[in-house]
Structure 1
Amino acid sequence: MELTVLGSGSAMPVPDRAQAGYLLDDGDRSLLVDCGSGVLQRLAGTDTGYEGVSTVLLTHHHLDHVAALLPLLKARWLAGEEHLEVVGPAGTKALVDGLLDVHDYLDGRIDLAVREVSASRPFAAGGFDVAARETRHSMDGFAYRFSPPSSDAPAGDGPLVLSGDTEAFAGMARFADGADCLVHDCSFPDDVDVSNHPRPTSLGEALAGADVGTLLLSHLYPHTGGREREMEDQVREAGFDGEVRTATDGLRVSL
């Protein structure tokens, strides 16, 4: 299974970071997690392309995670693809219906399926086995843990975890324990006063003792520019003892 970071940015654009988006691929199946502004262009630059992604899994419904959802639908329609499935937390159907109310000429262009999931039981999306848990953010949403279907590990023990937007807390550390890679929101440096997102020290404290191979810091606001190494060091100093890296658009991680 390979993870490609399509968008490591936030709601405040910078030239080198698209908004939230991640591509999972294992050669036979592909899954797009979140679809913010700029993600479609990044996706078009991959071998998979938007033609190869028929399922989108949403962590939550903030604009910087869903802005390119209908552009993806339109691109697939124009490319001759016939199907798109959108999966996400409660409210996903209302979100998609509302978008199509505004852009009604897209309604019915392709076979569109919408499915809402919960954290109470694992599910499949895009051919991957997925477990979810609630996040702590200004909007309800999920973090996800992924396993390829060929894996012996159940979804709750899969090698990859994506946090979505969330504060750092012990429950997320337990959810990610044993993962090869955790991609976690780390939106701001320590000296920015913010809620609903973690800063490096709070993230390192929350993950202290968690068995996670590599932590990728993502969902980065412009405030983090030029301070990536400082933030990585602060996560380690706060107690996390795995590898810490800052996500960049185009980064590929094999799992």
Structure 2
Amino acid sequence: MKITFLGTGVGIPQIGRVQSGVLMDFEGKLLLFDCGCGVLGRILESKHKHTDIDGIVLTHLHLDHVGDVLALLKANWLMGKTDMRIFGPQGTQEWFEKTLDVYDYLKDRFTVDIIELSPGDEFAPEGKGGDCTITCAKTVHTNNSLAYRIKSEGKSVVYTGDTEPCEAVMELAEDADVLIHECSFPVNFEMTNHTTPDMFTLMLEEYPINVKELYLTHLYPHMHGHYEEARHHIRKYFTGNVTIAKDLMVIKP
């Protein structure tokens, strides 16, 4: 399994960070988790082909996580690929249909199979190499937002999307090799529906987890100058490695 951080930013533009997107490679089969604005260009920069992506998995339907979905589908169509599977929370079908309604010229250009998911669901994306399975958990962000635990090749990776620290995500992440957790704002920043380092460590005190590698993503401009502070604060409560994710960073669990 190989993981490429395509976008580690948010809805506010930042140099070096586009919106949310993580590409996972399972023995040459590609699955894209979230597809915010700027992610399509990052796919090219990562030396992957957008037409090789087998499916898109969405954590929720906010613009900074779905802004390039239709752009990706159009780019595929222009290159001769006309099918895609999209996995997402309840409401994904309605969102997609309403979005496509705005662009009459794209209707009937491609076939999209949409699979809506709920907390507790487990699925095996078709075409994925061998033993890939994905489990869903509810997050604290929108009514239907989801986190995912991906198991493949003997490794486990958890991607939270946007969320406050919560028990469901901690349970999902237990014994994972990699936890990709949002960390939108710095220590002592008052916030709901997102994570700060001190919110995260308060949850760790109540629900300590055994995870080898923690990557912090979904970083607002407010985090500039506070990256090391965030790492240092979390390391007081977390035994694994803590890394600030960057666009185009590649890891292998």
TM-score of the two chains, using structure 2 as the length reference: 0.93
CA contact (8 A) 2:140 2:164 kept: yes
**Secondary structure at the counterpart of residue 65 of structure 1:** helix
Cα deviations by residue, 1:189-242 (Å, 9 ceiling, x for unpaired):
0132211111101112323420000110110000001211111111123x1221
Deviation at 1:139, TM superposition (A): 4.2
Q: Which runs of 5+ in 2 are unaligned?
A: none
Give the aligned partner of residue 199 of structure 1.
196
Q: Which runs of 5+ in 1 are unaligned?
A: 152-157
CA contact (8 A) 2:138 2:168 kept: no
Report the AA paired with residue 36 of structure 2: G
Report the AA paired with residue 253 of structure 1: I
- Worse-superposed segment, 33-42 or 194-203: 194-203
Cα deviations by residue, 1:74-110 (Å, 9 ceiling, x for unpaired):
0000011121111101000001101110112111112
Measure, in 2, the Cα distance between the counterparts of 1:118 and 1:194.
26
CA contact (8 A) 1:57 1:125 kept: no
Report the AA paired with residue 141 of structure 1: S
Structure 1 runs of 4+ aligned residues shifted over 3 Å read none
Give the aligned partner of residue 148 of structure 2.
144
Measure, in 2, the Cα distance between the counterparts of 1:139 and 1:17.
27
**Secondary structure at the counterpart of residue 226 of structure 1:** coil
**Secondary structure at the counterpart of residue 54 of structure 1:** strand
Task: Tell me, yes or no, if structure 1 residue 234 matches structure 2 residue 233.
Answer: yes
Identity score, percent: 36
Measure, in 1, the Cα distance between the counterparts of 2:120 and 2:157.
19
**Secondary structure at the counterpart of residue 125 of structure 1:** coil
Deviation at 1:36, TM superposition (A): 0.1
- Worse-superposed segment, 40-49 or 74-83: 40-49
CA contact (8 A) 1:205 1:235 kept: no
Cα deviations by residue, 1:155-213 (Å, 9 ceiling, x for unpaired):
xxx51000111001233112101001000011000132211111101112323420000
Report the AA paired with residue 10 of structure 1: V
Give the aligned partner of residue 250 of structure 1.
248
**Secondary structure at the counterpart of residue 51 of structure 1:** helix
Measure, in 2, the Cα distance between the counterparts of 1:40 and 1:103.
19
Deviation at 1:26, TM superposition (A): 2.1
Give the aligned partner of residue 169 of structure 1.
166
When residues 62 and 240 of structure 1 are mapped into structure 2, their CA distance, relative to the original with a 3 A threshold, is same
Measure, in 1, the Cα distance between the counterparts of 2:90 and 2:124.
16
Cα deviations by residue, 1:47-79 (Å, 9 ceiling, x for unpaired):
322111131000000110000010000000001
Give the aligned partner of residue 155 of structure 1.
none
**Secondary structure at the counterpart of residue 37 of structure 1:** coil
Matched pairs, number: 247
Deviation at 1:44, TM superposition (A): 1.3
Task: Tell me, yes or no, if structure 1 residue 49 matches structure 2 residue 49.
Answer: yes
RMSD (Å), alpha carbons: 1.4
Report the AA paired with residue 187 of structure 1: S
CA contact (8 A) 2:188 2:198 kept: no
Which residue of the other structure, out of 126, 129, 132, is the alignment partner of 2:133? 129
CA contact (8 A) 2:60 2:142 kept: no
Report the AA paired with residue 111 of structure 2: D
**Secondary structure at the counterpart of residue 159 of structure 1:** strand
